[in-house]
Amino acid sequence: MLHIKCPHCGMRSQNEFSYGGDATIKRPELGKEISDQDWDNFVYNRKSLRGKHWELWQHLSGCRQWIKVQRDTATHEIFKTLKANEEIS
Amino acid sequence: MTQSFRLESGGLINRDKKISFKFNGKNYYGYEGDTLASALIANGVHLIGRSFKYHRPRGFFGAGVDEPYAIVQLYRNGETEPNIKATEQELFEGLEAKSVNCWPSVNFDVGAINNFLKIFLPAGFYYKTFMWPKSFWYKIYEPFIRRAAGLGTASIKHDKERYEHKYEYCDVLITGSGPSGLASAYSAAKNGAKVILTEDKSRFGGTLLTSEVNIGNQSGKEWADSIISELKEMPNVTVKNRSQVFGYYDHNMLVMSERISDHLPKTKKFHPKQRLWYIRAKEVLISSGSIERPIVFGNNDTPGVMLSSAAKEYMKVYGVLVGKKPLIFTNNDSGYETAIEFKKNGIDPIILDTRKEPQSEIIEEAKNMNINIKNSYVVVAAQGYKKVKSADIAKISDNKEELGSIENIECDCICVSGFWTPTIHLASQSGNKTKFNEDIDAFVPGISKQNEKTLGAANGIYTLEETLKDSFEQGNQLSKKITNNENKVSFPNVVEKKSTVHDKFWCVPLPKGKNYKRFLDFQNDVAVSDIEIALKEGYRSIEHVKRYTTLGMATDQGKTSNLNGLQLVSKIENKVVPAVGHTTFRPPYSPVSIGAIVGREVGKHSKPTRKSPMHSWHEKNNAVFVDAGVWLRPRYYKRGEENLFEASKREAKNVRTNVGVCDVTTLGKIDIKGPDAAELLNRVYTNAWLKLPVGKARYGVMLREDGIVMDDGTTTRISENHYHMTTTTAQAASVLSHLEYYLQLVWPELNVNVVSTTEQWAGAAIAGPKSREVLKKLFPKSDVTNEGLPFMGYMEGDLFGVKAKIFRISFSGELAYELNVESDNGYFMWEKIIEAGEEFGIQPYGTEALSTLRIEMGHVAGSELDGRTIPYDNSLEGLLSKKKDFIGKRSLSRKAFAAEDRQKIVGVVPLDKKTSIPEGSHLVKDSNAPLPNPKLGYISASCWSVEHDNPFSLAILKDGRNMIGEKLFVMSPLKNKVIPVEIVSSHYVDPKGERVRS
Ligand SMILES: [Zn+2]
């Protein structure tokens, strides 16, 4: 079970969180024209990375905040966590 | 029976307390502090079971967790448990155990015929022999194997024992209470660290209980006892015996099973049988010691052949002799310690040492005791069937390839020592990259991935002094990092006998003309010849060899077999052992009972139960409940002898003709507040929300980004910046997360707050043509006329002093209202509704009638919004705004979603107007078409239409909009039904929607 540092609550067990996918995907702006290919990339196409990956988790049974977590998908090492409004650098 | 192999004195058992037990129906006695194994050996019982594949006789091989043979079926307090190691099971009064793998009995075993037909059971026998002909597998092979093999029988009774889970945090977790565990725990504890020290066995001390050493002028055991009693007194220390840390998981989470009651005849009141600990440790010190490895020789599985360390442990801990004519077969000094112990107890052992001229303090001592030592000697084969009777021995050449002439010597046990294998399971599980240590011919931990360090013998350090020094230091350093304290512990004076190097010899060659079986894996009956076959057949990767031959795959996980298997592969392949590599160690280190893993989450405790505030009213009024997620909802209210069908028909009919009331508390409710609330709704719902006036409700549909319908419900504008959203019962949690996702990550600029209020409000739907009459009585001061409270209107009302929200919304398609009051007032509200409705014939209705009403109205619910349908499929396309963008809109222009013959919801009526249509059935054009019959659609929901008094279903049908009036067939292979049907509109009742507005 992972141990995730919520930027709001501190170190908590994985079972308080739910996974939310790739954190680097930006939703296209509402009302803007977008090609089929770009839309498909946003909705469906994800890289299944091995290694460092920025991903979203929601602290469901805690503060309910969505957070960004940089995790190694192979080793599960967690390098960094950010609040929703903090930019991935 | 007398305990003829029990020594007159000695051991750590309590000779004042005799314990009676039964094995295979016979009565025996042992002492308090015995294991089942030590008590049986004391009674001269060496035949305990039959082997897995060949059903060869099996005795005892070890004295603890590494035991591959002595697995029994245990009977305790009216319960039975399989896969119990006799070497681990502590004796208790009234214990009963039986052999496994024997049919019909341990002494006469039909399966032993396999032994003579061994040609049929070579490596990969599961894959080869039993593959053909196919039908033989089910009819003959499988039942035969299942009966003849296996490690016992699981009880089919409900387990009445209690198992608990516990979560714990600590600074330093130390796994094993041998010298390294005790020393590191002591120095870490002295620095104030929060320490947990665990021990698998009942006694603390590990090898200190059996070795002849001196620490600070105390014997090893005395020193261990004094350290443990000091640790127990310290408030920052937890020591746990009978506790096996069996798994090392991510982020320093370790799991341990504590056997609290297994050693007692019966679990004490209010105590659990076992407790599973989830321990999150800042640092882990692995002090799991090492396991002696066997030397491979002919018939090395005969009862009486066992590890030399086990023979010593039986003498020193249990006061039991494993034999009276022992042969010690060793390649290192450890065998001498066992021989010396035999000699001290008046038994004359013979040592066969594979080494030519070894010299050390221990060997010197053995010589001084006049122990018979034969150098450059090996055991070629054990003789005897159910017990060792003699051994064929021979001199071996210096290159270890040629055997001298065979001599036969009488013996009743062969104690084997092939040196020591560090127990690296936990380190390996943690992700540690292990490395091969040439000096000890075994793998040791290498580079750590997590915060773990391995100490002492588990790390390949086999001298006590070095182990203690290193362990005191590591405990001190690691705890200092955490607590910033440093209280150095003074290092005690250590006296131990020095030993010399071992001989890297592990397998005795076969003598000419003999074809003895030489076993590597004792539990799974994997012999040298099996590995040879696998390699000949082309298996190279050690992981493949393992699976093909089942080497190391039994419940002992190859604790005694792994390294010898690797040695063999490396020899045949002409590779060094590290190039062969070892198979992956996986949890659990040792079997864990299913009960402990499940814990208390069984039966009613497997998930929470949510009940509405009106639950007790439903109970009093004969409600039959149904699980709706974690909620319990009334399915119907039984009157007299009614069944589900009759009751739900009555309830639904009463809604259509009079008035009914339904508990809708379970609907998800989300409170939405803020100046941008309307903007949020406008973005997540498909229809327009910016102009909804205060005091009005609107139906909305929410999509996922991929265009699939996520949920539907009504949202009401309570005041300028305040909205009350409802969701379906099932999607309540995911809709809240969905809104939070967009507010926090995508549109942080929106000034809106959302919070779940599902539990804050109790809800009741009042539906039917007479519902307004009921409402008038409930709210005499409010104007609830069609003008005062029109369809989709909202107002607040005073329900006899209780504030109520009144929504004019309808799921049933009738004139209907929903009332919400604070949960605490839910019961009061419900009673008032029933009271007021009495004169209008009000009846409560459950989920079954609720479904009937919505199905015949063509209102969609979870069975249509099933995560596979878009708005068009559900005839909800009228709710798609053309003027604005919303979540999921872009996806709807994808080609497949816009196809001409896209699936659509329709109604289905059987031609005979009688036959009920099973949900999930398929719709086909021709019921006699050859298989696979092209499927045109499926039945999503079925009911008995109370309006038309015949069956009616909803279906999602290909090209549904052009299919109205068509005749098709419903096919249900599960129910073996073919029903001719007609496709009709999904709106089977009141297609114009006049009733809700009346
Ligand atoms: Zn949090």
Give the DSSP letter string of A9-24. TEEEEGGG-EEEEESS
DSSP 8-state assignment for residue B743: I
CB contact (8 A) between residue B740 and residue A66: yes
B690 CB within 8 Å of a chain A CB: no
The chain A residue lying nearest B749, using CA atoms, is A85
Tokens of B974: 């599960």
Contact B202, B635 (CB under 8 A): no
**Cα–Cα dist B778/B775, whole Å:** 5
CB contact (8 A) between residue B744 and residue A30: no
Determine how β-strand B816-822 pairs with β-strand B922-924.
unpaired
User: What confidence score (pLDDT) does residue B152 get?
Assistant: 79
CB contact (8 A) between residue B885 and residue A31: yes
Lowest mean pLDDT among B107-116, B169-178, B566-575: B107-116
In this prediction, residue B560 has a pLDDT band, given cuts at 50, 70 and 90, of confident
Distances from the Cα of B347 to the Cαs of B102, B338, B370, in angstroms?
34, 11, 12
Whether B147 shows a pLDDT value over 60: the answer reads no
User: What confidence score (pLDDT) does residue B184 get?
Assistant: 98
User: What confidence score (pLDDT) does residue B125 get?
Assistant: 58
Interval A56-62 mean pLDDT: 97
Whether B103 shows a pLDDT value over 70: the answer reads no
**Cα–Cα dist B727/B723, whole Å:** 13
Whether B522 shows a pLDDT value over 90: the answer reads no
A79 CB within 8 Å of a chain B CB: no
User: What confidence score (pLDDT) does residue B550 get?
Assistant: 82
Tokens of A56: 């979203």
User: What confidence score (pLDDT) does residue B105 get?
Assistant: 65
Dist. CA A65 → ligand 1 center (Å): 6
Contact B140, B251 (CB under 8 A): no
Interval B78-84 mean pLDDT: 91
Tokens of B145: 């194997």
CB contact (8 A) between residue A18 and residue B737: yes
Contact B417, B327 (CB under 8 A): no
DSSP 8-state assignment for residue B857: H
Interval B579-600 mean pLDDT: 90
Q: Measured between alpha carbons, how far apart are the two ends of chain A, in Å?
A: 27
Dist. CA A81 → ligand 1 center (Å): 11
Whether B671 shows a pLDDT value over 60: the answer reads yes
Which of B523, B638, B394, B537 is CA-nearest to residue B66? Answer: B523
Nearest to B740 among A2, A28, A64 (CB): A64
Dist. CA B100 → ligand 1 center (Å): 52
CA distance B885 to chain A (A): 5
Q: In what order do the strands lie in the sheet with B218-219?
A: B218-219, B214-215, B494-495
Which of B646, B609, B604 is CA-nearest to residue B630? Answer: B609
Q: What is the mean pLDDT of chain A?
A: 96
User: What confidence score (pLDDT) does residue B579 get?
Assistant: 87
**B705-743 tens-digit pLDDT:** 999 999 999 999 999 999 999 999 999 999 999 999 999
CA distance A50 to chain B (A): 16
Give contacts of B896 with chain A, Cβ < 8 Å.
none
Local structure of B216: helix, strand or coil: coil
CA distance A78 to chain B (A): 9
User: What confidence score (pLDDT) does residue B126 get?
Assistant: 57
Whether B131 shows a pLDDT value over 90: the answer reads no
The chain B residue lying nearest A31, using CA atoms, is B885
**Angle ∠(A72,A78,A82) on CA atoms, nearest 5:** 115
Nearest to B744 among A28, A34, A84 (CB): A84
**A16-41 tens-digit pLDDT:** 999 999 999 999 999 999 999 999 99
B282 CB within 8 Å of a chain A CB: no
Which of B297, B322, B517 is CA-nearest to residue B412? Answer: B322
Nearest to A3 among B251, B746, B891 (CB): B251
User: What confidence score (pLDDT) does residue B142 get?
Assistant: 61
**Cα–Cα dist B463/B213, whole Å:** 11
B253 CB within 8 Å of a chain A CB: yes
Interface pTM, i.e. ipTM: 0.98
Interval B624-649 mean pLDDT: 96
In this prediction, residue B34 has a pLDDT band, given cuts at 50, 70 and 90, of very high
In this prediction, residue B98 has a pLDDT band, given cuts at 50, 70 and 90, of very high
User: What confidence score (pLDDT) does residue B552 get?
Assistant: 82
Whether B119 shows a pLDDT value over 80: the answer reads no
Dist. CA A66 → ligand 1 center (Å): 8
Dist. CA A16 → ligand 1 center (Å): 9
Interval B185-204 mean pLDDT: 98
Which of B258, B237, B238, B263 is CA-nearest to residue B246? Answer: B258
The chain B residue lying nearest A36, using CA atoms, is B894
CB contact (8 A) between residue A64 and residue B431: no
Local structure of B772: helix, strand or coil: helix
B828 CB within 8 Å of a chain A CB: no
Dist. CA A83 → ligand 1 center (Å): 10
Q: What is the mean pLDDT of chain B?
A: 93
Dist. CA B630 → ligand 1 center (Å): 25
B891 CB within 8 Å of a chain A CB: yes
User: What confidence score (pLDDT) does residue B111 get?
Assistant: 58
CB contact (8 A) between residue A58 and residue B737: yes
List the 38-67 stretch of A: residues with Cβ below 8 A of B.
Answer: 39, 42-44, 56, 58, 60, 64-66
Whether B138 shows a pLDDT value over 80: the answer reads no
In this prediction, residue B228 has a pLDDT band, given cuts at 50, 70 and 90, of very high
**B297-324 exposure pattern, b = at least 16 Cβ within 10 A, e = fewer:** bbbbbbbbbbbbbbbbbbbbbbbbbbbe
CA distance A18 to chain B (A): 10
Classify residue B100 by burial, with Cβ atoms within 10 Å: 0-12, 13-18, 19+. buried
B683 CB within 8 Å of a chain A CB: yes
Whether B120 shows a pLDDT value over 60: the answer reads no
**B655-666 exposure pattern, b = at least 16 Cβ within 10 A, e = fewer:** bbebbbbbbbbb
CA distance B889 to chain A (A): 10
DSSP 8-state assignment for residue B403: B
B723 CB within 8 Å of a chain A CB: no
Q: Which residues line ion ligand 1, judged by CB < 5 Å?
A: A 6, 8-9, 59, 62-63
User: What confidence score (pLDDT) does residue B113 get?
Assistant: 57
Which of B273, B333, B287, B288 is CA-nearest to residue B308? Answer: B333
CA distance A63 to chain B (A): 11
B135 CB within 8 Å of a chain A CB: no
A74 CB within 8 Å of a chain B CB: no
User: What confidence score (pLDDT) does residue B525 get?
Assistant: 83
Q: Measured between alpha carbons, how far apart are the two ends of chain B, in Å?
A: 92
CB contact (8 A) between residue A44 and residue B706: yes
Interval B356-368 mean pLDDT: 97
In this prediction, residue B912 has a pLDDT band, given cuts at 50, 70 and 90, of very high
CB contact (8 A) between residue A43 and residue B884: no
The chain B residue lying nearest A87, using CA atoms, is B745
Q: What percent of chain B has pLDDT over 70?
A: 95
User: What confidence score (pLDDT) does residue B102 get?
Assistant: 62
Amino acid identity for residue B400 in this structure: K
Dist. CA B599 → ligand 1 center (Å): 27
Q: What are phi and psi of A65, to 5 degrees?
A: -85, 140
Dist. CA A4 → ligand 1 center (Å): 10
Interval B834-853 mean pLDDT: 98
User: What confidence score (pLDDT) does residue B558 get?
Assistant: 81
CB contact (8 A) between residue A27 and residue B746: yes
The pTM for the full model equals 0.89
The chain A residue lying nearest B890, using CA atoms, is A39
**B914-929 tens-digit pLDDT:** 999 999 999 999 999 9
Contact B124, B534 (CB under 8 A): yes
Dist. CA B759 → ligand 1 center (Å): 22
Q: What percent of chain A has pLDDT over 70?
A: 100
In this prediction, residue B789 has a pLDDT band, given cuts at 50, 70 and 90, of very high
B755 CB within 8 Å of a chain A CB: no
CB contact (8 A) between residue A43 and residue B705: yes
B601 CB within 8 Å of a chain A CB: no
Dist. CA A88 → ligand 1 center (Å): 18
Signed CA dihedral, B420, B422, B425, B431: sign only: negative
CB contact (8 A) between residue A13 and residue B740: no
The chain B residue lying nearest A82, using CA atoms, is B745
Whether B299 shows a pLDDT value over 80: the answer reads yes
B922: number of Cβ within 10 Å: 18
Dist. CA A63 → ligand 1 center (Å): 4
Nearest to B744 among A2, A60, A65 (CB): A65
Which of B468, B95, B426 is CA-nearest to residue B285? Answer: B426
